Amino acid sequence: MIKNTLLPVAEFCQRRRDFIAQMPENSIALISAGKEVTRSNDTEYPFCQHKHFYYLTGFNEPDAMLVLINTDKLNAAQSILFSREKDALQEIWHGRRVGQAKAIDDYQVDDCFSLAEIDQQLLPLMSGKSAVLICQPELAEFQQQVLDWLNKVRKAARSGIKAPNSLIDCSDILDEMRLHKSPAELDIMRQVNVISGAAHQRAMQATKTGKFEYQIEAELLHEFAIHGARYPAYGSIVAGGDNANILHYTDNDDTLNDGDLLLIDAGGELAGYAADITRTFPVNGQFSEPQALIYQLVLDSQNLAINAIKPLQTFAQLNHIVCDFLTQGLYDLGVLQGDITELLAKKACKKYFIHGLGHWLGLDVHDVGDYHSNQQREQLRPFAAGMVMTIEPGIYIPLSDHSVDEKWRGIGVRIEDNILVTTNGFENLTINAAKSIADIEQMMSQ
């Protein structure tokens, strides 16, 4: 076990071996750690490690780089870490550093050098390799750094020693590995779901007319943190009334009004892994009739999708099922009007269900992994046991929508659970956040 992770070090070692086995012969991969980000003047945001780097190391310091080498040379180092040096003064001010000797022991890399030694150590490792691999194409500065190293190696190349002649983006290898969760990862994802579900329960019980959205946000953060999920996996959305119709609303500074719904989309992060849960409930504890009708429609559509999850199922098919169901339901309620055959054919629910049905979930809240989307943006990737996704249908009817009866306006509902594909079907990881109308009303009456 490594500090800050709930995974054994052997799992990180195995990931590195699996990755190296998929690298082209005689290639070298360079993977950068995250950087600290300034919040104001000389204070930083809480550090969040780059998730690819974290996945391969479990090492939680900024300013580090992992080097992985595919070589058939006997006894050659294959995993090499570069990290910050021990520094007594810096550590008194800013916190402990692992340093090189302890990194070799704790993270079981073959070697570890200080950042000051990069040129001296890295350039000989790069020379003679056929290709340099990177897997963080979004890090422009790091890519430039890699090109600079590559140019240095090219300049220094002596006869007989070749410089790598290609720079390859290999992010698809890591994306694919991260899409398939191990039993140990799934244990963490179950835990962070339980913590986050408890936070939603706490939020429901704390909600009262006249409170501010940020006061409910504080309840969520408290519940995450006291259970070890120190930070939310993303900015919590606590959206009363019409604010729920702003999909990424994070102002969280309005008052909660009697008769409105409150939509909360929030999840904690535990050992790097995210939960992503949404619940919608009435501020005063009782759904009005129009709110209950829309809520039940969304809930039924979610159950329809979840119950259809199994290996070989696709997001495309689930979307199809949910779209038909919501279109028919909105037509039956009179929210959508016209010819039902035409409405179904043009997926008319999309006027009110304005985002995708779900996404992969893991170390990133919108996790990596190919959806095999075609030009029609259909997601045809067959599900397999070990994949985790969200299922999050929603209906959003803004106050400003004068095409519908007044009673529907200002209703925004999303319900989101985290689902694991199993060999026989699915496991819903979101087990403790009240979801049926009866359970929510009961929970809020306590």
Instruction: Give the residue numbers marked as catalytic.
Output: 42, 248, 265, 276, 355, 359, 366, 392, 396, 414, 416
* Secondary structure (DSSP) of 311-369: TT--HHHHHHHHHHHHHHHHHHHTSS-S-HHHHHHTTGGGGT--S-S--B-SSSSS---
- Rank residues 122 and 277 by Cβ distance to ligand GLY and give the closer one: 277
* Stretch of 84-92, 172-180, 199-207, 388-396 contacting Mn ion, by CB under 5 A: 388-396
364 binds, among Mn ion, ligand GLY, none (CB under 5 to 8 A by kind): none
H or E segment to which residue 268 belongs: strand 268-270
- d(C-alpha 201, C-alpha 131), whole Å: 52
Angle at 87 between CA 81 and CA 90, to 5 degrees: 115
Angle at 106 between CA 102 and CA 111, to 5 degrees: 65
- Rank residues 235 and 259 by Cβ distance to ligand GLY and give the closer one: 235
Q: In what order do the strands lie in the sheet with 268-270?
A: 231-232, 268-270, 273-274
- Rank residues 139 and 420 by Cβ distance to Mn ion and give the closer one: 420
For residue 85, the 8-state DSSP code is P
Does the protein bind Mn ion through residue 390 (CB under 5 A)?
yes
Residue from 379, 356, 378 nearest 366 by CA? 356
Residue from 199, 396, 225, 206 nearest 295 by CA? 396
The nearest distance, CB 99 to Mn ion, in angstroms, is: 39
Q: Count residues binding ligand GLY (CB under 6 A).
A: 6
66 binds, among Mn ion, ligand GLY, none (CB under 5 to 8 A by kind): none
242 binds, among ligand GLY, Mn ion, none (CB under 5 to 8 A by kind): none
- Rank residues 285 and 394 by Cβ distance to ligand GLY and give the closer one: 394
Contact set for ligand GLY, span 363-382 (CB under 6 A):
365
Neighbours of 120 (CB within 10 A): 9
Contact set for ligand GLY, span 250-289 (CB under 6 A):
265, 276
The nearest distance, CB 392 to ligand GLY, in angstroms, is: 6
Does the protein bind ligand GLY through residue 217 (CB under 6 A)?
no
- Rank residues 203 and 365 by Cβ distance to ligand GLY and give the closer one: 365
Give the alpha-carbon dihedral of 404, 405, 411, 416, to 10 degrees. -60
Pick one of 61, 242, 265, 364: the residue that binds Mn ion (CB under 5 A).
Answer: 265
Pick one of 219, 223, 260, 416: the residue that binds ligand GLY (CB under 6 A).
Answer: 416
Residue from 193, 125, 256, 172 nearest 427 by CA? 193
Contact set for ligand GLY, span 131-160 (CB under 6 A):
none
Residue from 318, 315, 420 nearest 361 by CA? 420
The nearest distance, CB 276 to Mn ion, in angstroms, is: 4
Pick one of 185, 219, 367, 392: the residue that binds ligand GLY (CB under 6 A).
Answer: 392
Neighbours of 9 (CB within 10 A): 16
* Secondary structure (DSSP) of 118-149: HHHHHHHHHTT-SEEEE--TT-HHHHHHHHHH
Contact set for ligand GLY, span 40-99 (CB under 6 A):
none
The nearest distance, CB 365 to ligand GLY, in angstroms, is: 6
Pick one of 61, 213, 276, 367: the residue that binds Mn ion (CB under 5 A).
Answer: 276
185 binds, among ligand GLY, Mn ion, none (CB under 5 to 8 A by kind): none
Q: CB-side exposure of 350: number of CA atoms within 13 Å?
A: 9
Coil vs helix vs strand at 278: strand
234 binds, among Mn ion, ligand GLY, none (CB under 5 to 8 A by kind): ligand GLY
Does the protein bind ligand GLY through residue 234 (CB under 6 A)?
yes
Residue from 136, 157, 266, 151 nearest 214 by CA? 266
Per-residue string for binding with Mn ion, 406-445, x by CB under 5 A?
Answer: ----------x-----------------------------
- d(C-alpha 207, C-alpha 434), whole Å: 14
223 binds, among ligand GLY, Mn ion, none (CB under 5 to 8 A by kind): none
Binding site for ligand GLY (CB under 6 A): 234, 265, 276, 365, 392, 416
Binding site for Mn ion (CB under 5 A): 265, 276, 278, 390, 416
